[in-house]
Amino acid sequence: MSEKKSTKKYYEAVGRRKSAVARVRIYEKGKGSFMVNDKSLKDFFSFFDFENQAISPLISVGLREKFDVTVKVSGGGLRGQAEAIRHGLSRALVKIDEKNKTILKKQGFLTRDPRKKERKKPGLKRARRAPQWRKR
């Protein structure tokens, strides 16, 4: 497994959501390609909604076709991964230009969503679901 070493300059950021972690790299002077785990965005996300969610920071800033983006994402489900990509992409866009921060902050893309699954408690079926009560 050999990776191509790119000499292009890039900006890197990490995005997180639930248990998903995305490492995002934005390469300057690109043609608008978007690769997630060495697959195209359309191949990686089966739902159009997740695609839109992942690239929404680029669209809101108006830089969809200006950069090449590569992402390594792991953990969680597809929705968590899409939101982790969105978070990492937003952070990288702020590194590129501080003016992007006001636009992305207003839409809530820079805020890390802290909600995670609550742990299971002893004596319960799930985190809060108690066993069914029987009188007799």
**Total-model pTM:** 0.86
For the chain, give the mean pLDDT.
Answer: 90
Q: Which fold has domain 10-107?
A: Ribosomal Protein S5; domain 2 (3.30.230)
Within 13 Å, how many C-alpha atoms sit on residue 87's CB side? 20
Confidence grade of residue 30 (pLDDT, cut at 50, 70, 90):
confident
pLDDT at 38: 92
Q: Are the C-beta atoms of 77 and 50 separated by less than 8 Å? A: no
User: So where are the chain's domains?
Assistant: 10-107
Give dist(CA 20, CA 33) in Å, integer.
22
pLDDT at 46: 85
Q: Are the C-beta atoms of 57 and 93 separated by less than 8 Å? A: yes
pLDDT at 47: 86
pLDDT tens string 66-100: 889 999 999 999 999 999 999 999 999 999 989 99
Give dist(CA 117, CA 2) in Å, integer.
37
- Residue 5 clears pLDDT 70, i.e. is over it: no
Cα angle for residues 121, 125, 131 (degrees, 5° grid)? 115
Q: What is the mean pLDDT of residues 125-129?
A: 96
